[in-house]
Structure 1
Amino acid sequence: MTILYTIHDSLYVNLTNKCPCACTFCVRQESDGVHGADNLWLNHEPSLKEVLEAFEKHDLDSYESVVFCGYGEPLERLDVVIQVCEYIRAKSKVKIRLNTNGLADLIHGKETAPLLAGKIDEVSISLNAPNQQDYMNLVRPCFGEEAFPSLLKFGAECKKYIGDVTFTVVDLLNREQRSACEKIADEMQIKLRVRPML
């Protein structure tokens, strides 16, 4: 079972396979792993003890960053993310990044960005669409029409509590959609990155 895996100079954390979205472009439909990583499908969600035991085998100072990503939405396990961040902070000054779909508030029924303040250094949020309808068609969230506005609110809250926030969009968007995403990001004073399909 792969809990931690390396891509380039970063150590990635695979906590869950749960995700409230069924993106039409999701890499999970095509492969069991990414960038040469072993199978990222978990046979069970690792306990905090299992995660920390996996970390003990790595020198955190040898990595550029630790990234919560994996084959599911990391914030499905919000409490574990926070506890792992506290462990990392006690061991190293390595940068901690979170890759998320931005729907944690709906998953947990409460505001989650304030809980990440002082734990996460950088947040990357999958925007992927310029409006609610395109988002529904492309991302297919289980939360329905609540999802897109909740994502935007989460982005604004992360900007407030964490500071370093990036929206990402996959490179299958057309020029008009991409321009509209750029407008959203500019208005929110959030960086935008076009992410190539894996």
Structure 2
Amino acid sequence: MVLYTVTGHVGEAGYLDIANSGDLTGKNIYVNMTNRCPCNCVFCLRQTKKMMEGNSLWLKEGEPSVDRVMDLFAPYDLSVINELIFCGYGEPLERVADVCEVIDRLKSKYPDLKVRVNTNGLANLVHGRDITPELAGRFDTVSISLNAPDAEEFLALTRSKFGIGSFEALQEFAVLAKRHVPNVVMTVVEKVMSEEKIELCRKLCNDLGVTLRVRPFES
């Protein structure tokens, strides 16, 4: 599933293909363009083949081309939606050039379109360069999954292929993104993380000059 909305429920039933989402007025539309990710998070559904095959966000037919994504958008009026969010089973910024091209094409028709990316913050490591200048004028919000208050716990949770330096790289990415994007936030999930650790994350975000968003836990 490439374009979808979220019903508010957890799990596969919570994702609705845009074609089945009815009136899009005021809704968030999600764009899922890759299965690739440099992390292997302990809490991710991609841990088992069965979950991957059964999850509607797993792109079973491979990555859609930019033209294919645009064809899927074509029937819909995006002027009525709340926000367009690049987020899916993989890390959206693995395909940063293609994501930017999709945004450029959409903004040529909808210049006021609000766009966000939900990211693990490791795109600069993925591409071996600073990609944050490419976010300018395209994204209104960059939302980075913080997951942990320190490098050791972050690596234990995410099992990033880039190792212990991933946590520092994530922080650097947030600081660099601030130069190009109006709103940079980091997220943690309540109840999954202790209040003490959340406060450590809050201090970290304050030091970086970004906002911490504590997401509600849904079971």
SS at match of 2:173: helix
Deviations 1:123-176 (A, max 9, x none): 100111111001011111111012111100000011111120110012311122
Is residue 2:132 matched to residue 1:133? no
Is residue 2:111 matched to residue 1:111? no
Deviations 1:6-62 (A, max 9, x none): 1261110000011111112224458569xxxx7111121001111110111221112
CA–CA distance in structure 2, aligned partners of residues 131 and 106 of structure 1: 18
SS at match of 1:149: helix
Deviations 1:75-131 (A, max 9, x none): 010111110110121111120001000000000000011111111111100111111
CA–CA distance in structure 1, aligned partners of residues 99 and 75 of structure 2: 18
CA–CA distance in structure 1, aligned partners of residues 187 and 124 of structure 2: 19
- Structure 1 counterpart of 2:205: 185
Query: Which structure carries more relative contact order (alpha carbon 8 Å, separation 6+)?
Result: 1
Q: Which runs of 5+ in 1 are unaligned?
A: none
Mapping 1:36-115, distance limit 5 Å: 39-42=56-59, 43-92=61-110, 93-115=112-134
- Structure 1 counterpart of 2:2: 3
* Number of equivalent positions: 193
> TM-score, normalization: structure 2?
0.83
- Structure 1 counterpart of 2:140: 121
8 Å contact kept, 2:116–2:142 = yes
CA–CA distance in structure 2, aligned partners of residues 193 and 145 of structure 1: 24
CA–CA distance in structure 1, aligned partners of residues 127 and 109 of structure 2: 29
Is residue 2:183 matched to residue 1:164? yes
> TM-score, normalization: structure 1?
0.92
Q: CA deviation at 1:4?
A: 0.4
Aligned-residue CA RMSD (Å) = 1.7
CA–CA distance in structure 2, aligned partners of residues 173 and 65 of structure 1: 28
Is residue 2:216 matched to residue 1:196? yes
Q: CA deviation at 1:193?
A: 1.0
8 Å contact kept, 2:40–2:47 = no
Task: State the structure with more CA Rg.
Answer: 2
8 Å contact kept, 2:85–2:115 = yes
SS at match of 1:130: coil
